[in-house]
Amino acid sequence: MKEIDKVFKALADPNRRELLDRLHKRNGQSLNELCGILDMARQSVTQHLEILEDANLVTVRWEGRRKLHFFNPVPIHDIYARWIRKFEEQRLEALHNLKNRLEGN
């Protein structure tokens, strides 16, 4: 599987996005800390973290017996550079504003 495909697959799950949001908010969390934010079993959180690690969205550092997880924004920036930046920002902003007005937001 290509690296970019791994990133899209990892980002497709809302629980993994929540983990990334939590790591973005406070980097360097252990598995125990991350388990406390999601209503799921420790094994499920571990599996989500493995997918994020495989996509290079999370890196780890061992401190003794503690495995700390860190958010790596580089793959998301690569998506931005490849798939988003090429579109004209003004056009996207106009469409976004129109959508919000039509939806009453």
| Tokens (6 digits) for 49 | 């973290």
Instruction: Provide mean pLDDT across the span 91-95.
Output: 85
Q: Is the pTM of this model over 0.95?
A: no
pLDDT value, residue 49 = 98
More confident residue, 67 or 82: 67
Residue pLDDT, tens place only, 34-65: 998 788 899 999 999 999 999 999 999 999 99
Query: Which domains are delineated in the chain?
Result: 3-103 (1.10.10.10)
Compute the mean pLDDT over every residue in the chain, rounded to the nearest whole number.
Answer: 92
CA distance 2 to 75: 12
